[in-house]
Amino acid sequence: MSDRGVFVTAFTTVVLIVAGAFALPQFFPFELIKSLIYVAIAILVFFGEDQYSYMLGIVAPVVGWVVNIITGGFFEEFGVLWASVTMKNVPPLDTPLHGLAILTQILLLALSWRAWQKEVTGPFFGKVFGVCVAIAVAHAIVLGIYVAVGIPAGTGMP
């Protein structure tokens, strides 16, 4: 039986990322590509594929955070979220939805970890881990290629 919390959290992450795409239309394709891995997690959970969905729910956010920290956006997203909560001015190319998406990714990681321990009997570091790391890194590479080719210089990163 698949964990409903993982499904709802993955779907909520997709909604927040896609809502951010509508808030920043110039980055719409980038945000849609960014949300694809969470759509895949939600679909895998929906169809009952426990191992890969839970492992992707653990690995994909961490790889995304590492890439986001390297590109300099991770802590800035929380700054924009905090500015929005405290009713301060938010720059025009920023939205607090990205900070909320990071918070749901943290919840997704925790729920996926709990579901993995509860429902999967196999080892954590095994074939499933390797496949999911490869998928998450490939997703990050696709995003990096899109940033290098598809986003004009000087417009900033979403």
Confidence grade of residue 90 (pLDDT, cut at 50, 70, 90): confident
With cut-offs at 50, 70 and 90, classify the pLDDT of residue 77.
confident
Section 60-81 average pLDDT: 86
Residue 96 has pLDDT above 80, yes or no: yes
pLDDT for the residue 80 = 85
**What residue has token string 């999911």?**
132
The average pLDDT across 114-140 equals 92
Surface-to-core class of residue 92, CB atoms within 10 Å of its CB (0-12 exposed, 13-18 middle, 19+ buried): exposed
Average pLDDT of 54-75? 89
Over residues 99-119, the mean pLDDT reads 93
Task: State residue 16's pLDDT score.
Answer: 93
pLDDT at 152: 59
- Provide the angle, in degrees to the nearest 10, between the axes of the packed helices 127-150 and 50-71: 40
* 152 or 65, which is more confident: 65
- The torsion region of residue 48 among left (phi > 0), alpha (psi -120 to 50) and beta comes to left
pLDDT at 79 over 90: no
Q: Please give the pLDDT value at position 151.
A: 64
Task: Name the amino acid, one letter, at 127.
Answer: K
Is the pLDDT at 113 greater than 80? The verdict is yes
pLDDT, position 3: 82
In this prediction, residue 154 carries a pLDDT of 52
- Residue with the bigger pLDDT between 18 and 90: it is 18
What is the residue-averaged pLDDT of the chain? 87
